[in-house]
Amino acid sequence: MKLWDCLSSVVSAWHITSGEVFTKYGKCYMFNSGEEGHPLLTTFKGGTGNGLEIMLDIQQDEYLPIWGETDETTFEAGVKVQIHSQSEPPFVQELGFGVAPGFQTFVAMQEQRLTYLPPPWGECHSSDFGLEFFPIYSITACRISCETRYVVENCNCKMVHMPGDAPFCTPEQYKECAEPALVLLGEKGNDYCECQTPCNLTRYNKELSMVKIPSKTSAKYLEKKFNKSEKYISYVILVLKGENILVLDIFFEALNYETIEQRKAYEVAALLGDIGGQMGLFIGASILTILEVFDYIYELIKEKLFDLLGPEEEEGSHDENVNGLVHLFSFGRLPFFSSQSTCEPLSNHSDPTSHTVTVPLQTTLSTLEEIAC
């Protein structure tokens, strides 16, 4: 693969911002890696032409012949690209997308920031706690670390894309041990490698579109621009019909980002508040009900006691009234009455002398009335 052109809205020199990294596909290049000696670049506008634009010659005539089929045999022509944050190592073999020759591919991306909750509300892994070979935790870093440990433990060597100080595997070790070990590790699933989602994650959503290149009238222009012979340009364009040339245009769709945040649906304070409210409602109602029952029992007992003790109290008060009348008439002084049945006084009672009358004790009201007369 050969880089023909690199266009950037910030700087045009590829070597200033690019870095090299080894993956399972071999030697790859990172643009805007942010590593030491590679300052980060920023863009001030969105849309096509305001990001990274490169033209590549994949040189299919230099591809190695395929003598046999293995797990890593590739039948396609083109390049594979992965867009990731600077804190995340590349994992092109599984997370990359393909760019085909003969086309100009436009990649509009949108940054997305995700925040997950740690236990007990979620199951994320804190990004601040790094791994053995990477200072910042990510899913790809976890998988690469896990694969490295497994291969080193079983083969006493590492593949070229794996971190660490272990020696590189020889071709024999690669074929007989390292590659079968990775296949076996993939069959185990999460039994050996359990990589949780990081609590803070940055990813880029992509929208791809493409157009056919080059046009038939572009040979003269490409000859002057890239200082290539017209014969070579004609061979590339007319004979190979654009089977080696591709253009990749990566840009931000807009200078904003989307935030997806996981929040606590039910916190401890809300739980205690709801429990207190429910207890206040139901326990308060229960206490009021119990007090109402006690009040009803009290009123019922009181009424029964009044029914039982009421007649005796009335009889006792009646006797006291009668005795009081007898006492009054026994010791009081009454005027002299005649023996007539009517209560008329004697015609002559000018004598002021009073007389004492002894009244026998009577118990009936009618007798007392007669005596009063």
**How high is the pLDDT of residue 17?**
57
- Provide CATH 1.10.287.820 ranges for the chain: 125-196
Residue whose entry in the numeric block shows the structure tokens 């007649």: 311
Mean pLDDT by 10 residues, the chain (373 residues): 48 56 88 81 88 87 72 79 92 92 93 92 82 90 93 94 93 90 85 87 94 76 72 63 83 94 83 76 72 86 84 54 44 43 44 46 44 43
Surface-to-core class of residue 327, CB atoms within 10 Å of its CB (0-12 exposed, 13-18 middle, 19+ buried): exposed
Residue 319 vs residues 314, 325, 326, 330: alpha-carbon distances, Å: 9, 10, 11, 16
The CATH number fitting domain 125-196, selected from 3.40.50.970, 1.10.287.820, 1.10.1740.10, 3.30.413.10: 1.10.287.820
**How high is the pLDDT of residue 190?**
74
**How high is the pLDDT of residue 340?**
44
Count other C-beta atoms under 10 Å from residue 245's C-beta.
Answer: 23
**How high is the pLDDT of residue 10?**
38
Q: Is there a contact between 83 and 15 (Cβ–Cβ < 8 Å)?
A: no
Q: Which CATH class is domain 1-65+76-113+214-285?
A: mainly beta
**How high is the pLDDT of residue 312?**
56
- Provide CATH 2.60.470.10 ranges for the chain: 1-65+76-113+214-285
Q: Are strands 2-8 and 52-57 parallel, antiparallel or unpaired?
A: antiparallel
Cα 154 from Cα 172, distance rounded (Å): 14
Cα 164 from Cα 305, distance rounded (Å): 96
**How high is the pLDDT of residue 339?**
44
pTM (global) more than 0.75: no
Phi/psi class of residue 127: alpha, beta or left (left: φ > 0; alpha: ψ in -120 to 50)?
alpha
